[in-house]
Chain A
Amino acid sequence: MSKLSQKHLLGIKDITKEDIELIFDTADNFKEVINRPIKKVPSLRDVTIANVFFENSTRTRLSFELAQKRLSADVINFSASNSSVKKGETLLDTVNNILAMKVDMIVMRHASPGAPHFLAKHIKANIVNAGDGTHEHPTQALLDAFSIRERLGGVGGKKVAIIGDILHSRVALSNIFALQKLGARIMVCGPPTLLPKFIGQLGVEVEFDVKKALLWCDVANVLRIQLERQQIKYFPSLREYSLYYGITKKMLDGLKKPIVIMHPGPINRGVELSSDAADSQHSIILDQVENGVAIRMAVLYLLAGNK
């Protein structure tokens, strides 16, 4: 008998360590389910879920949709690019119109930080944040921590370096919250212009040299350079970034120690991560994708049971 402390999953900041462990234990069971000959369970057959995406996504959206279908939920998809949002409808109106069609849960991605928190105050349905601007991306952090737990047997006491564009990354923030709650030590690494000014106050170590960061850590979570969010130049050129912060297989082999490489995708091959590093035995990038479905099934299942 067990339930989450929250009705929504808005961010990792709002949930407890016990919540995270319950999600992991449930995801273990779902991972077994999605490896069966019949990869489907009827748990959410009376639940309708709307995927409301105001921002582009392939992986997260596919992963959520697959998770919902594996749980036998009814799914409707909505993307802002071909909707009445273009005609000037407000967020609350859009969502209330969807809910009027008797939808039980909303999975939302939005470019504005805090958008799902705003919705949670005004509507009754369960909300899962699938990324809000540069704020949080809770399911990604959960699947990252789950993948570390799977590969290394646990998260507590492990050293995790988050490398790259921390400033624009919701994955970084959610990862820091999740891994700290589970007892890991965290270092952020990147060019000074891409590290938020007060990041040290979150209790993380700060490093500017990627080689030192790799030497220190058990796990390197490499983030994408988010050119689409960068209005001004934060570094001279992609080529220069890659020269100073790009990770190659040669660097990893030169460490002479086991290291785990993760990436939330999509990878800019040859920028933050070279092709041979991304495809090396250190990499668990595709395991992350598989675990993403199991984690999202667990989150949706547990929230649906928490009316």
Chain B
Amino acid sequence: MQKKLILDSDLLDLTISRLCQQLIENHNDFNDTVIMGMQPRGIFVAEIIHEKLKKETKKDIPLGYLDSTFYRDDFRRRQIPAKANETRVPFIIEGKKVVLVDDVLFTGRTIRAAMDAMIAFGRPATVELLVLIDRRRNRELPISADYVGKAVNTLASQRVLVELEAQGHKQNKIWLVNKD
């Protein structure tokens, strides 16, 4: 198994700072903005961003978790069904500017499912997508991210491995892994 480092800890910090600055630029005072981390791994990225924005803007932007398992279009098509995770939306979504946060954007199918899942809670004013890693050229749906940490060219057979301290890893590291 070959592993190539895409982002190390220092670079990841810089990247997240930049993403936060971009959010501040576009959302001004964050009055109507909510952050929605996607289960299972996007929530860790969402928490980091939420924390960072809190320091920068002195505002506690509402943070929710969204699980899209029940909205997937590949249920009954894959061997083993995905395990569902907690959805926690402790705010009204109606009329809000939602920033969806995930770790990796790949085929775009999870994001499609997530948008379905989100609309079950109400009609947001706008929806934006923030991802740490954008795997270009592997999209199966017309979906693109508004905020991208790093775009990488990958093969469909490769895998992006995100290791975050919040998930119990020693250091923040993101790898590109060749399967076999």
Contacts and interface: CB of A to CB of B under 8 A. Distances in A.
Interface stretch (A8-16, A28-36, A75-83, A242-250): A28-36
Contacts, number: 60
Contacts of A307: 76
B67 interface: yes
B122 interface: yes
Contacts of A26: 83-84
A2 interface: yes
B71 A43 contact: yes
A43 B83 contact: no
A1 B80 CA distance: 6
Q: How would you classify the secondary structure of chain B's contact residues: helix, strand, loop or mixed?
A: loop
A3 B86 contact: no
Contacts of B67: 29
Interface size class of A (residues with CB under 8 A): 20 to 34
A194 interface: no
B85 A36 contact: no
A37 B83 CA distance: 23
Interface residues of B, number: 21
Contacts of B76: 46-47, 304-305, 307
A286 interface: no
A41 B75 contact: no
A2 B80 contact: yes
Interface of B: 67, 69-72, 75-76, 80-87, 116-117, 119-122
Given A1-B82, A37-B120, A42-B71, 15 more contacts: A2-B83, A25-B83, A25-B84, A29-B70, A29-B87, A33-B70, A36-B121, A37-B122, A43-B71, A43-B75, A44-B75, A301-B81, A305-B76, A306-B81, A307-B76
22 contacts: A1-B80, A25-B84, A26-B84, A29-B84, A33-B70, A33-B87, A37-B120, A37-B121, A37-B122, A38-B120, A38-B121, A40-B120, A41-B71, A42-B116, A43-B71, A43-B72, A44-B75, A304-B75, A304-B76, A305-B81, A306-B81, A307-B76
